[in-house]
Structure 1
């Protein structure tokens, strides 16, 4: 038997469903499903999760059927998170639930939408998609008779709030929710949440590498000037010298993902061996994450991110779309904040007086929940007199 695993198959420092701090609203047990399996299932059935299908990763939905969306990104993050959690003897269901939920708060149009809402909400505390994800699962989802939100376990909510580390200056909604249901914001999250965060980085950079080549923003050979990609590129060419270009890209990306995953597992094991944690509490109390890249892989990942920033996220074609999308959200926010009676009835009740803080928050929640497609249609309805409202 693996000495790092207890009889239940998990490491001593893994989160255990049997030790869960429970839910804000008490519920009967889930039968054969663990609390974290129930969390995962509730997330998958949530309206906010379905909307991710038509939310931008980099390319707006109409720019191509094969580019990643927030939904396919979340599924790829979940696959990587589950694989890493299994290798490290952590709770796979908790890691998967966090991976599936981590982008539920993203507005339409990707980071362009987030920038637009953050600027519009600056007088009211700004906008942060991590806080909006927490808000989606604790308030905005309206599926259950006994409570707002999904009533997820404390461990899932904690991981959503601080999967990127302790929160020294939390967003207004996280502060508000923490008063009701304390999430220990000043400590690190569980190892499972840290796995989900690293899986996000791995999936994000690699599928953007894949999509960038397929969109013609740069070539695979140009990306192969980066040491990490070069190693994968040369290995793929050596094993398959006559491989067509489209398959070559996929072969390179899968090798880069594999290298990153192996590095995370090895570095995490090294940190665990040094820390010798006896429980999940020791992971949370540690002064730095235990799930991490090695220094060498962190440098390689940063080089890849910098390459993508210059060659993809700031490409002139992407810039054009970004500016148009930001402008659309800015116009929508201005119109609806100034005249909340333009909102659907349910949102009007939340908004209150024109120009108020309550109106700003209601409009922000309304816009953040939109898909790219719905936001563009709403913009037309509110700005084009020839289109019925």
Structure 2
């Protein structure tokens, strides 16, 4: 029996009957199993080592070009993975599957966070980062060959947001913990930025969660584990759900749609739209590997792949080189 087979048997013996077992993992392109890692461990490792995951450290979460200690998209993904694994462990579900979904859920995010996503949506008519995350991992990574992730991981990534829910409990954990993470940590960053104060929080949110991010996360995680224990569903109690929705409304009003950030959001959208327009009009200026994929996927799709994949800093660098006149030297 290989090390992997021992892990797979341990899952069968130990995990909840509702857990997704690694031995049941499916890939669209069959491949030889690893001697040491389960299929979901392999998926997690492939995502961590991918270019798109590395670029997340230079992609905005909320604040464009923030200083030290503010969350970037990679920090957010790591925090979602940590919170999600805590819930999965508490419910004796598959932690490796949960972590793989959490680490990969935002790799398709554009530069400048949701401002960049909104810009591409306005240009294209339809663009959602969850769909782009799946496309990146399935068709863009590894020089266009994709990572050949399991169906279970891909489904969790695609459905971490939107109208459809994942078909695994592990995917549903990530779907909820993504919201837990961004609400609590964007609130923390909002205080650091001076955009809000703890006393601004609605009273029901304070009574239910407290005013510190750690107590907020603990309350939501404890409720998820308690409410979901022993049932084939990931759920939260009604009081916690109501307080969470109230918290989310508060964050949209005070941070996400704040007039204080509107000017920066407009600038970010302008950069993304101009870059898309430029490369769509001048496809010969795309990197060679992207040009070679146009016939297979269409020009529009490949320009989206390129522009959405840029880091914030590189998008700004490209914009300056393409649209800002250089300063002449001499007298």
User: What TM-score, normalized to structure 1?
Assistant: 0.77
Q: Distance in 2 between matches of 1:46 and 1:268?
A: 33
8 A contact 1:36–1:97 mirrored in 2: yes
State TM-score, norm by structure 2. 0.90
User: How far apart are the structure 2 equivalents of 1:337 and 1:165?
Assistant: 28
Unaligned runs of 5+ residues in structure 1 are 168-186, 234-248, 278-289
Partner of 1:160 in structure 2? 157
CA contact (8 A) 1:381 1:387 kept: no
Distance change (3 Å), C-alpha of 1:51 and 1:226: farther
RMSD across aligned C-alpha pairs, in angstroms?
2.1
Cα distance change on mapping 1:106 and 1:32 into 2, 3 Å: same
In structure 2, the CA distance between the partners of 1:303 and 1:387, relative to structure 1 (3 Å rule), is farther
Find the counterpart in structure 2 of residue 329 from structure 1.
Answer: 272
- Residue 332 of structure 1: how far off its partner (Å): 1.0
Q: Does the 8 Å contact 1:165/1:188 carry over to 2?
A: no
Give the Cα–Cα distance (whole angstroms) in 2 for the partners of residues 82 and 307 of structure 1.
Answer: 27
Match of 1:372 among 312, 323, 328: 312
The answer to whether the 8 A contact 1:137-1:149 is kept is yes
- Alignment equivalent of 1:58, drawn from 59, 62, 70: 62
CA distance in 2: counterparts of 1:6 and 1:337, whole angstroms: 49
The question of whether the paired residues in 2 share the 8 Å contact of 1:58 and 1:110 is answered with yes
Can you list the C-alpha shifts for 1:84-119, whole angstroms capped at 9, x where unaligned? 001111000000000000001101000000000111
Gaps of 5+ in 2: 1-9
2:217 paired residue number: 257
C-alpha distance in 2, partners of 1:376/1:302?
A: 35
Quickly say closer, same or farther: Cα 1:188–1:70, change in 2 above 3 A: closer
Which region of structure 1 is more displaced relative to structure 2, 5-14 or 201-210? Answer: 5-14
Matched, 1:106 2:109: yes
Is the counterpart of residue 16 in structure 1 residue 13 in structure 2? no
Q: Deviations over 1:309-366 (max 9, x none)?
A: 11111222211111100011111111221221222222233346xxxx9221111110
CA contact (8 A) 1:328 1:376 kept: yes
Alpha-carbon contact 1:6-1:12 (below 8 Å) kept = no
Distance 1:292 1:41 in 2: 29
SS at match of 2:138: helix
Structure 1 pair 128–164 and aligned structure 2 pair: CA distance change class (3 A): closer
CA distance 1:6–1:37, change in 2 (3 Å): closer
Return closer, same or farther for 1:113/1:303 CA change in 2, 3 Å cut-off: same
Give 1:24 deviation, angstroms: 2.1
Equivalent residue, structure 1, for 2:6 = none
Q: Between Structure 1 and Structure 2, how many residues are aligned?
A: 318
Q: Quick one: distance in 1 between partners of 2:82 and 2:156?
A: 17
Q: Is 1:339 aligned to 2:282, yes or no?
A: yes
